[in-house]
Amino acid sequence: MNLSISFSIKSFLFVVFLVVLADQVTKTLVVSNLRLHEVRPVLQGFFNITYITNTGVAFGFMAGSGKWRHIFLQMVSVVALGGLFYFYCNSHCRSYPLLWGTSLVFGGALGNLIDRIRYRSVIDFLDFYAGPYHWPAFNIADSAITIGGVLLAWHFFRITNKQP
């Protein structure tokens, strides 16, 4: 393994570590200091800290308490993490959007997988709204996945536009 690839994997793992650390610390603070469904206003009319759980995936899709769902979502997460790491390690076109994108998505997915194993659901708490219009609550891991996905889209868009 040459030095540049080694450095890239170290960078990837460092970003993953930071995302998982930030995600798990914030979720632990929420679980330790709020009751389930408790709301703490931060910016009146715009942002609350609201402790909720999600047994499904994005926006509560596939939510439920069935054991098969729990096991299925964990398996999907593990397969996705393995595929993402394999993709990153074998990518021939290195770029900062690729590094940041894959490591943010990986870290976010790992953070939510840790919740699924620990709590059998994902802890969400960031609650943004404008008047009666609420965005579904989310967490640091979800934010990392979203930002990482945008960076990956940018990476692939740039690669596609460079090819004849």
Q: Residue 115 catalytic?
A: no
- Residues 116 and 23: their CA atoms lie apart, in Å, by 13
* Catalytic residue of the set 23, 115, 127, 142: 142
CB of 91 within 8 A of CB of 98?
yes
CB of 152 within 8 A of CB of 86?
no
- Residues 38 and 125: their CA atoms lie apart, in Å, by 10
* Catalytic residue of the set 23, 115, 124, 127: 124
Q: What is the dihedral of CA 4, 5, 7, 9, to 10 degrees?
A: 160
Q: Residue 127 catalytic?
A: no
Sheet containing 122-130: give its strands across.
39-43, 47-54, 122-130, 133-134
Q: Catalytic residues, which ones? A: 124, 142
